[in-house]
């Protein structure tokens, strides 16, 4: 397994092979570059009681896709951390939300995207749905803006491609097709 030394306060991401098996870990601060190794992430879409979905605009300090509108939140599980626990952890950290039941809708989603600066995102990224009625308490280091929108409006944004993050643009049509399957991660 590949292991790296990390500075205090730096998060580790799980490096994986093409089959999704862990092959090591690396510091999050150094893993995203022009030759980003395949690693494990997740995305989550949070819905309210009215059926609207939360979109967030990534903070300008984010390493990848700063200032871009995206899904409700995303992140990386730590080595040994169950992915559902990681989803709940990031919901608390980024949005101040305590999530209950999670539904893994796209357990095998994988994408690769290249940012304008050449930074590559390369993830196996299970996609979750969650519901919340709690008021948001966003971390400004993570989220610079947010809004609740209809799924139809999100679908329209995804069809444009450029108006939201590349992973969200790929996920939305797949989520439309997969919502009846409800396979667990």
Looking up residue 136, the CATH number of its domain turns out to be 3.90.79.10
Tally of domains within the chain:
1
**Residue 87, phi then psi, degrees to nearest 5:** -60, -50
Residue 159 within any structural domain of the chain? yes
Residue 1 within any structural domain of the chain? no
Residue 143 within any structural domain of the chain? yes
Burial of 120 (0-12, 13-18, 19+ CB in 10 A): middle
Rounded Cα distance between 43 and 123, Å, is: 11
Q: What are the helix and strand counts (H, E) for the chain?
A: 4, 12
Task: Give the whole-number percent of the chain exceeding pLDDT 70.
Answer: 92
Residue 121 counted as an annotated binding residue: yes
Task: Specify whether 74 is catalytic.
Answer: yes
133, 49 Cβ separation under 8 angstroms: yes
Residue 39 counted as an annotated binding residue: yes
Task: Specify whether 81 is catalytic.
Answer: no
Per-residue pLDDT for 7 more than 70?
no
What's the confidence (pLDDT) of residue 9?
Answer: 56
Residue 124 within any structural domain of the chain? yes
Residue 4 within any structural domain of the chain? no
Residue 7 within any structural domain of the chain? no
Its pTM stands at 0.90
Residue 80 within any structural domain of the chain? yes
> Which is the catalytic residue, given 104, 123, 125, 170?
123
**Structural domain for 17, as ranges:** 12-178
> Which is the catalytic residue, given 74, 104, 125, 170?
74
Encode pLDDT of 93-146 as tens digits.
Answer: 999 999 989 999 999 999 999 998 898 999 999 999 999 999 999 999 999 999
């Amino acid at each position: 397994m590949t292991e790296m030394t990390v500075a205090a306060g730096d998060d580790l991401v799980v490096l994986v092979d093409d089959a999704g098996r862990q092959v090591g870990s690396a510091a999050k601060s150094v893993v995203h570059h022009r030759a980003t190794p395949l690693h494990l992430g997740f995305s989550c879409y949070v819905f309210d009681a009215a059926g609207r979905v939360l979109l967030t605009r990534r903070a300008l300090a984010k390493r990848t896709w700063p200032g871009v509108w995206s899904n409700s939140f995303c992140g990386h599980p730590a080595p040994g951390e169950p992915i559902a626990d990681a989803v709940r952890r990031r919901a608390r950290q980024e949005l101040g939300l305590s999530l209950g039941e999670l539904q893994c809708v796209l357990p095998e989603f994988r994408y690769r995207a290249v940012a304008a600066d050449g930074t590559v995102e390369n993830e196996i990224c299970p996609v979750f749905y969650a519901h919340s009625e709690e008021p948001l308490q966003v971390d400004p280091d993570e989220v610079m803006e947010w809004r609740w929108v209809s799924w139809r409006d999100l679908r329209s944004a995804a069809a444009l491609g450029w108006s939201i993050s590349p992973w969200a643009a790929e996920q939305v049509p797949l989520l439309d097709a997969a919502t009846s399957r409800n396979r667990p991660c």
